[in-house]
Amino acid sequence: MTSNLKERLMPIAGKLREFEEHFNRSLGGHAGLIGEMAAHILDAPGKRIRPAMYLLSSGACPGGRDIEATPVYAAVAIELIHTATLLHDDVNDGARERRGRPAAGQLWGNLAAVLMGDHLFAKAFRILVDGGDQRVLETVSEASERVAVGELLQVQETRNFEVTEQDYLRIIGNKTASLFSAACEAGALTNGNDAERERFRDFGEFVGLGFQIADDLLDYLGDVAQTGKPSGTDLKSGNITLPLIYALQNAGDDGRHRVMEAVAQPAVNGFGEVVEFVRVNGGFDYARRRAAEYRKKALDLLSGLSESSYRLALEEVVNHSVDRQA
Amino acid sequence: MTSNLKERLMPIAGKLREFEEHFNRSLGGHAGLIGEMAAHILDAPGKRIRPAMYLLSSGACPGGRDIEATPVYAAVAIELIHTATLLHDDVNDGARERRGRPAAGQLWGNLAAVLMGDHLFAKAFRILVDGGDQRVLETVSEASERVAVGELLQVQETRNFEVTEQDYLRIIGNKTASLFSAACEAGALTNGNDAERERFRDFGEFVGLGFQIADDLLDYLGDVAQTGKPSGTDLKSGNITLPLIYALQNAGDDGRHRVMEAVAQPAVNGFGEVVEFVRVNGGFDYARRRAAEYRKKALDLLSGLSESSYRLALEEVVNHSVDRQA
């Protein structure tokens, strides 16, 4: 996290601590295998982007003056669903590391990792039900449906070199932008402002799209020391993302065929060749441009809001999500 | 399904058809991989015991005269969660067949099977949220939390020859009885009868326990042609169930050690040896006795209700669940 972002998040620092306490509590109370896996999860917390966006959206929307009254449970549920998704993503696709440490499936087996994901998913719904706000339940349950659909579409398009940018946007919109969108929408709902639902839903969607394009760029160009994830993971599992999609469309047949062979047999040399292919054919520049467009769309939606420390922080989160090193 | 049970279910035949239509619709609307996997699921429907128990509980509880007004959505959600659980159960534990056909993981890979399970799980919650009954949401979300806990406990106790009957009951109560219990409780709720919640919750729990003990007996003694599942599946994946737990507690050290070796290297001969060990040490008789006790507890709870075709059918479901061939 950059020091700039950290500073901007100061207005929600107390609430983020409250979130952490509630999140930890939601994973507690079990001994044995469940307790061990929960400890493994808590030991490497994520960046908590979704909870931050939830809280900031609550504060930034018109009528939101003080976020002290904003309940954190919806953010906890969304982060639990996100965590469950990470556990399931790792199944069988060769993922060995997650946040710089061995993936849960490597330590306890695929089955245990899957069931722990189910546990978190069920816990998330339990928390939402106990919260008792029908609109929040609708928002988050719709998003979690989208997540699974997006993930399945991604599996469907594995190693499909004909996959289009439109397919790609449908995949990342469902698998990633859905939860960003739900976090912002649920945040806006806390101030009882139904009219702002749409603005914050769309805002979260754009940030999520920009975030995932940036993530997919990092998979090609990122530094493992910073991302905690070795480069080329997507390619190894046959996940064709925007930089390569663009490059494949703009390359000659010769280059296409060589890259398709390299992807079929992913090795260290093969990956270098693909990176060069994407670079020469403008795939990285194009993906950066598309990410910047989503950043602009997101920022434009914020410009209609009155100035506040929450709005400033949201702007910083947008910039950080789209133009990041890890 | 025995002809006797079929006859007894006549009063809910129309509602079960309504359930099937709603269930099919809930899985529809997708092309590609999701559509193919959905078709695979719909192609081999389960026995629909949980939906039947939901509808019968609705009809049998005091004040329930006509089930025409009973909405089927809760039964659809419960059956979706059950189906999701089956998909996830098959991950990585060597399951090759399910309901007499290849398991989804064998056809589309573990990852796709996991994600399809997530899709069904999310869909179930979406349906419950749209239903808008907070009590049903509470009942089913609590049950789905229990399912994951039970499954994780089972993984934790894999190949643990010290596992006790108490551990076993905790596992099957959570992983299996939970959804039976939720189905009956939710059914009772449809008639607005909060006072009957507890009776039907307990009733479902007892039936679920008896059902699972019977299932575990079938894994030793069942005929693959009838169950659609090869014998010895539990043992192969290291799942020590009640018949063996009892036998291990009542055998001498010699027998114990030989069985533990046989389980460590599961082969056709090894399985025969374990079956003989369990038989000689009274494990099958004991498990049958325990199942019969749960059957009696369940029937006792029904005896307080006034006579109706629904109550008669529930009694038949109990008998069928505990004393079954498939």
Beta carbons of B148 and A110 less than 8 Å apart? no
Q: Which of A64-68, B48-52, B82-86, B238-242 comes out lowest in average pLDDT?
A: A64-68
Of residues A109, A110, A155, nearest to B33 (C-beta): A155
Residue pLDDT, tens place only, A89-148:
878 544 455 556 677 777 888 899 999 999 999 999 999 999 999 999 999 999 999 999
CA distance A137 to chain B (A): 6
Residues contacting B7, CB < 8 A, separation 6+? none
Beta carbons of A118 and B30 less than 8 Å apart? no
Residues contacting A91, CB < 8 A, separation 6+? A105, A110, A113, A114, B91, B110, B111, B114
Q: How confident is the model at residue A64 (pLDDT cuts 50, 70, 90)?
A: low
Higher pLDDT, A119 or B89: A119
User: How far from B318 is each of A7, A310, B9, B102, B315, CA to CA, in Å?
Assistant: 62, 58, 13, 29, 5
Q: Which residues of B270-284 are buried (b: 16+ CB within 10 A; e: fewer)?
A: bbebbbebbeebebb
Contact B97, B111 (CB under 8 A): no
CA distance A283 to chain B (A): 27
Average pLDDT in the A174-196 region?
91
Contact A253, A235 (CB under 8 A): no
Other Cβ atoms within 10 Å of A22 Cβ, number: 18
Q: How confident is the model at residue B227 (pLDDT cuts 50, 70, 90)?
A: low
Q: How far apart are CA A111 and CA B114, in angstroms?
A: 10
**DSSP structure class, residue B174:** I
Of residues B115, B138, B152, nearest to A151 (C-beta): B115
A147 part of contact set with chain B, CB < 8 Å: yes
What residues of B are in contact with residue A117 (Cβ under 8 Å)?
A: 118
CA distance B313 to chain A (A): 32
Q: Which of A267-276, A298-307, B212-221 comes out lowest in average pLDDT?
A: A267-276
CA distance B236 to chain A (A): 15
Q: How confident is the model at residue B152 (pLDDT cuts 50, 70, 90)?
A: very high
> What percent of chain A is predicted at pLDDT more than 70?
90
What residues of B are in contact with residue A110 (Cβ under 8 Å)?
A: 91-92, 110
B111 part of contact set with chain A, CB < 8 Å: yes
User: How far from A41 is each of A26, A38, A87, A99, A269, CA to CA, in Å?
Assistant: 12, 5, 10, 10, 34
List the one residue out of B185, B223, B227, B197 whose CA is nearest residue B99: B227
Residue pLDDT, tens place only, B265-309:
655 568 888 999 999 999 999 999 999 999 999 999 999 899 999
Q: Which of A72-76, A313-317, B108-112 comes out lowest in average pLDDT?
A: B108-112
**DSSP structure class, residue B195:** G
> What percent of chain B is predicted at pLDDT more than 90?
67
Beta carbons of B119 and A148 less than 8 Å apart? yes
Beta carbons of B137 and A137 less than 8 Å apart? yes
Q: Which residue on chain B is closest to A29 by alpha carbon?
A: B149
pLDDT value at residue B223: 76
Q: How confident is the model at residue B255 (pLDDT cuts 50, 70, 90)?
A: confident
pLDDT value at residue B302: 95
List the one residue out of B81, B87, B63, B95 whose CA is nearest residue B23: B81
B202 part of contact set with chain A, CB < 8 Å: no
pLDDT value at residue A273: 87
What residues of A are in contact with residue B147 (Cβ under 8 Å)?
A: 118, 122
Phi then psi for residue B158, to 5 deg, are -55, 130
Of residues A91, A121, A122, nearest to B110 (C-beta): A91
B217 part of contact set with chain A, CB < 8 Å: no
Question: B100: phi > 0 → left, psi -120 to 50 → alpha, else beta; which?
Answer: left
pLDDT value at residue A278: 95
Q: Which residue on chain A is closest to B89 by alpha carbon?
A: A111
Chain A 63-102, CB below 8 Å of chain B: which residues?
Answer: 85, 88, 91-93
Q: Are strands B97-98 and B101-102 parallel, antiparallel or unpaired?
A: antiparallel
Beta carbons of A34 and B156 less than 8 Å apart? yes
What residues of A are in contact with residue B26 (Cβ under 8 Å)?
A: none
pLDDT value at residue B213: 97
Q: Which residue has the tokens 């993530």?
A: A215
List the one residue out of A70, A15, A74, A81 whose CA is nearest residue A46: A81
Residue pLDDT, tens place only, B103-143:
777 788 889 999 999 999 999 999 999 999 999 999 999 99
Whether the complex's predicted ipTM surpasses the cut of 0.90: yes
What residues of B are in contact with residue A138 (Cβ under 8 Å)?
A: 129-130
pLDDT value at residue A94: 47
B6 part of contact set with chain A, CB < 8 Å: no
Mutate to test the interface with B, among A90, A92, A136, A163 (most CBs of B within 10 A): A92
What residues of B are in contact with residue A125 (Cβ under 8 Å)?
A: 125, 141, 144
Alpha-carbon Rg for chain A in angstroms: 20
pLDDT value at residue A95: 47
Phi then psi for residue B51, to 5 deg, are -60, -40
Q: Which residue on chain B is closest to A140 by alpha carbon?
A: B126
- Checking if the pLDDT of A155 tops 50, the result is yes
Phi then psi for residue B164, to 5 deg, are -100, 170
Helix (H, G, I), strand (E, B) or coil at B211: helix
A162 part of contact set with chain B, CB < 8 Å: no
Long-range CB pairs of A154-161 (<8 Å, 24+ gap) are: A154/A239, A155/B33, A155/B108, A155/B109, A155/B111, A155/B112, A155/B115, A156/B32, A156/B33, A156/B34, A157/A240, A158/A237, A158/A238, A158/A239, A159/A238, A159/A240, A159/A263, A159/A264, A160/A240, A161/A240, A161/A248, A161/A256, A161/A260, A161/A263
Of residues A32, A88, A122, nearest to B148 (C-beta): A122
Q: How far apart are CA B177 and CA A158, in angstroms?
A: 38
Beta carbons of B129 and A110 less than 8 Å apart? no
B167 part of contact set with chain A, CB < 8 Å: no
- Checking if the pLDDT of A66 tops 70, the result is yes
CA distance B87 to chain A (A): 11
pLDDT value at residue A267: 58
Residues contacting A250, CB < 8 A, separation 6+? A281, A282, A283
> Could you write out the three-class secondary structure of chain A?
CCHHHHHHCHHHHHHHHHHHHHHHHHHCCCCHHHHHHHHHHHHCCCCCHHHHHHHHHHHHCCCCCCHHHCCCHHHHHHHHHHHHHHHHHCCCCCCCEECCEECHHHHHCHHHHHHHHHHHHHHHHHHHHHHCCHHHHHHHHHHHHHHHHHHHHHHHCCCCCCCCHHHHHHHHHHHHHHHHHHHHHHHHHCCCCHHHHHHHHHHHHHHHHHHHHHHHHHHHHCCHHHHCCCCCHHHHCCCCCHHHHHHHHHCCHHHHHHHHHHHHCCCHHHHHHHHHHHHHCCHHHHHHHHHHHHHHHHHHHHHCCCCCHHHHHHHHHHHHHHCCCC
pLDDT value at residue A115: 95
Q: How confident is the model at residue A25 (pLDDT cuts 50, 70, 90)?
A: very high
Partners of B101 in beta bridges: B98
Q: Which residue on chain B is closest to A125 by alpha carbon?
A: B141
User: How far from A207 is each of A16, A201, A319, B175, CA to CA, in Å?
Assistant: 20, 10, 9, 39
- Checking if the pLDDT of B40 tops 70, the result is yes
Average pLDDT in the A83-92 region?
87
B116 part of contact set with chain A, CB < 8 Å: yes
Q: Number of helices (H) and strands (E) in chain B: give both, helices first.
A: 18, 2
Partners of B97 in beta bridges: B102
Of residues B109, B115, B122, nearest to A141 (C-beta): B122
CA distance A166 to chain B (A): 16
Q: Which of A42-56, A205-219, B225-239 comes out lowest in average pLDDT?
A: B225-239
B110 part of contact set with chain A, CB < 8 Å: yes
Residue pLDDT, tens place only, A220-257:
998 766 766 677 888 888 899 999 999 999 988 888 88
What residues of B are in contact with residue A34 (Cβ under 8 Å)?
A: 149, 152-153, 156
A121 part of contact set with chain B, CB < 8 Å: yes
Q: How far apart are CA B70 and CA B290, in angstroms?
A: 34
Average pLDDT value over all residues in chain A: 90
What residues of A are in contact with residue B86 (Cβ under 8 Å)?
A: none
